[in-house]
Structures are given as structure tokens and as C-alpha cells.
Structure 1
Amino acid sequence: MENNKNIKQQSSHIVHIDNRRSLDITGVTKVLTFNEEVIILSTVMGGLTIKGKGMKVNKLNVDSGDMSIEGEIISLVYNVKESPNRESLLKKLFK
């Protein structure tokens, strides 16, 4: 039963920001890179880039997919993957 609970937790993705000073995220599958200014993650909803100042990771549990970050949060950007059938604008322009 415990394994089913972890699988269910990993399939949800919640982002909670408190006064742009702390950030709690669920659904984290992998941390690709992090420093005080940029954290790049893989989540169940795709890639996520977090930019800020003086950021530090307080909690990271990839088994449950939970992560807590403190510092000045400036932006969160989800990376959108293009489908293989879609051509880029530049390819269309130079046909």
C-alpha cells in the first residue's frame, strides 16, 4: 500500500510560493542543476526553471517528489516541448 501512495504523490504537481521567499514543490522527478540563482528541475508536468537570488534547497526527497527552496524567487518557467510534427518558425521561414 505504501508504494501505491508514493506513486500517487509523484503523479501530482503542486507549487506553493509564500511571499516570494519560500517555495514548496511536489511532483519533482529529478534535479538537473542548481545554484543560488538558477534551479532546473524535471517534474511530472515537464521541465521547470526557477530563477532567484540567494536560493538554497532546504528539503529534497526524490522518492516522494517533494522539494523546499528558500531565497528570493524571481520567476518560474515551464519548458514546453515541441511535438515532433511541429516545425519551428525558422524552418517555415526558410523553406
Structure 2
Amino acid sequence: MESKKDFKKGVQVEENLGDLSLINRSKLHVTGVLEVISFTEDEIDLITKGGNLTIEGKNLKMNKLDVVNGEVNITGTLNSFVYSENRKVKKKDSILSRLFR
């Protein structure tokens, strides 16, 4: 967790980068979501305050997406979730743009 110093009070305050709450390996609540990159029934890719988050499983569904508060609820059989460093996902170039480089 990153921390910031509150200079007015002289107190160390930790920045909330987001939370994961897993219930019975079938319901996942994620906070701190900035953007949904992609989703299928087997994989969901998110950009969160804490880094890129890849969720893998079976029959995955996003039941709630609250972009204002940065919250996502996911149901299905959850097998794994992995954080990686923040990086922009490069959009695939079209065939024409690759031909004319």
C-alpha cells in the first residue's frame, strides 16, 4: 500500500488502492476499479488503483459495474486473480495499419 503524509495533522495515511472480497469461491466484490479492459466467460481484465487485475474462472458474469464508485461484482467459478503492474493495453492494429508502417 502506498502511504501519504497528511501535513496538516502530521499523520501517515494509507491510500486505499482497492479491496477484493471473495465468498465461497463463487462471488467476488472488487473496489478501486478504474476500467474494464475485457471480459469473457473465462477471463476478466480490469485496471484498478492497485494495478492490472486478471480474473480467471468458468461462467464468469459481471453482475454489477459501478464506474462512479469503482466497484464490480463478479459471479461464477473463480479459479484465480492476479495483479500485475499498471500498463496500458495496446489495441490490436488493423491489417492495413500494419501493412503501411
Larger RCO, structure (CA 8 Å, separation 6 or more) = 1
In structure 2, distance between residues paired with 1:62 and 1:81: 18
TM-score normalised by L of structure 1 = 0.72
Query: Kindly, what percent of the aligned residue pairs are identical?
Result: 40
Aligned match of 2:13: none
Structure 1 letter corresponding to 2:33: V
Q: Which has the larger radius of gyration?
A: 2
Structure 2 letter corresponding to 1:44: K
Aligned match of 2:81: 76
Matched ranges for 1:5-84 at <5 A: 11-80=16-85
Structure 1 letter corresponding to 2:60: M
Deviation at 1:62, TM superposition (A): 1.1
Quick one: structure 1 residues 32 and 70, their matched pair in 2 at CA, closer, same or farther if it must change by over 3 Å? same
Deviation at 1:32, TM superposition (A): 0.1
1:63 match: secondary structure: coil
- Size of the aligned set, in residue pairs, is 72
Structure 1: any 5+ residue segments left out of the alignment?
1-10, 83-95
TM-score normalised by L of structure 2 = 0.67
Q: Which has the higher strand share?
A: 2
Q: CA RMSD in A?
A: 1.5
Deviation at 1:63, TM superposition (A): 1.0
Deviation at 1:12, TM superposition (A): 3.9
Q: Which has the higher helix share?
A: 1
Quick one: structure 1 residues 28 and 35, their matched pair in 2 at CA, closer, same or farther if it must change by over 3 Å? same
Deviation at 1:81, TM superposition (A): 5.4
Aligned match of 2:94: none
